Amino acid sequence: MKILVVGSIAYDSVETPEGKRESQLGGSASYFSVAASHFTEVGMVGVVGNDFSEDDLALYRSHEIDTSGIETVDGKTFRWTGDYLQDINTAVTHETQLNVFADFSPELSEKHAEAPFLFLANIEPSLQLQVLESMSSRPKLVACDTMNLWIDIARGPLAELISKVDVLTINEGEARQFTEEQHLPTAAAALLESGPSTVVIKRGEYGAALFSKHFNFAAPAYPLAKVVDPTGAGDSFAGGFMGYIAATGDTTEEGLRRGAIVGSTMASFAVEAFGLDRLRSLSRQNIEERFNAFVDLTRFQAIDGSNALPLR
């Protein structure tokens, strides 16, 4: 197994300008795993209640996701309710019910503890830290994500986590909130100072900006005619990004740049339908065509020596 992910496994109730869904399968680990499974083997660590449907477990398994790290306990699965009615790029949370996550204490099998790539998807930072500390050796690459709730109520553990990862993915509002810097490059510089060697700032329909100590890169979002449900876009971005890097082992600058475009590719599918509906039905051809459309979208001819800018 190449990538281990810990994160939420959820039933989401979501309203967007395109409609409303009750109790659809979601959660940061679900979106990440299904997106990454198109590239490499993924193992999930998390917990569900005894209300979790067999069909939803079957969905993971149909993507060859290792579900042996998903514990089922008495109680209700994590639930999140939110909307994107004011701004399609910003989720407004109505309710978060941790339910079975409140008492969850992840224990990794030997196989899981040896995974070479680790994604600590959005969940309580102390759980993310516990998983990181349970790895038998330091993975080749550790990435994490988080959200405003944890910045508000678990800032200490979150800062400790951020100091220990290689890649932080965070949305722009949260980057500003965590660093108290309004200007994004300044916020990114502060985050780079606090530990990670790469910070990916997610900007919804404006794409993602990758900052490292050595280079910066901007990955656009795909110009879709319609965004149906933005839930999970960030996790799907992370799934494509890590999936590509884990599948190729390429952690060079070029690998990270390409990974960001693969991430944007998967995020662009995630938002085309409610929940996991689009991500779960993708063919290889769909992914290749969308990736190539990104190559075209970002292509321009650099100016060589004889062909300078026509400056006056």
Q: Report if residue 175 touches ligand AMP, rule: CB under 6 A.
A: no
Q: Report if residue 235 touches ligand AMP, rule: CB under 6 A.
A: yes
Task: Determine the residue with CB nearest ligand AMP.
Answer: 26
C-beta closer to ligand AMP: residue 10 or 188: 10
Q: How far is the CB of 150 from ligand AMP (least distance, A)?
A: 7
Q: Report if residue 240 touches ligand AMP, rule: CB under 6 A.
A: no
Going by their DSSP bridges, the two strands 19-26 and 117-120 should be labelled as unpaired
CB 269 within 8 A of CB 123: no
C-beta closer to ligand AMP: residue 43 or 234: 234
Q: For residue 37, count CB atoms less than 10 angstroms from its CB and return exposed for 0-12, middle for 13-18, buried for 19 or more.
A: buried
The residue within the footprint of ligand AMP, chosen from 122, 130, 179, 198 (CB under 6 A), is 122
C-beta closer to ligand AMP: residue 76 or 140: 76
Size, binding site for ligand AMP by CB under 6 A = 18
- Here's the x/- map for ligand AMP, 88-117, by CB under 6 A: it reads as --------x---------------------
Q: Give me the sign of the Cα torsion angle 258, 225, 148, 98.
A: negative
CB 164 within 8 A of CB 196: no
The residue within the footprint of ligand AMP, chosen from 10, 120, 187, 209 (CB under 6 A), is 10
Q: Report if residue 12 touches ligand AMP, rule: CB under 6 A.
A: yes
C-beta closer to ligand AMP: residue 217 or 237: 237
C-beta closer to ligand AMP: residue 24 or 109: 24
Q: Which of 4, 32, 17, 15 is nearest to 279 (CA)?
A: 32
- Spatial strand order in the sheet of 208-212: 66-73, 42-49, 3-6, 117-120, 141-145, 167-171, 198-202, 208-212, 216-219
The neighbour count for residue 308, using CB atoms within 10 Å, is: 8
Q: Report if residue 27 touches ligand AMP, rule: CB under 6 A.
A: yes
Q: Report if residue 233 touches ligand AMP, rule: CB under 6 A.
A: yes
C-beta closer to ligand AMP: residue 14 or 247: 14
Q: Give me the sign of the Cα torsion angle 105, 107, 112, 114.
A: positive
CB 9 within 8 A of CB 254: no
The residue within the footprint of ligand AMP, chosen from 4, 5, 8, 187 (CB under 6 A), is 8
Q: How far is the CB of 97 from ligand AMP (least distance, A)?
A: 10
The residue within the footprint of ligand AMP, chosen from 43, 207, 232, 259 (CB under 6 A), is 232
Which helix (H) or strand (E) covers residue 267, if one does? helix 253-270
The neighbour count for residue 307, using CB atoms within 10 Å, is: 9
CA distance 296 to 312: 30
Q: Give me the residues that bind ligand AMP (CB under 6 A), please.
A: 8, 10, 12, 26-28, 31, 80, 96, 122-123, 147, 149, 231-235
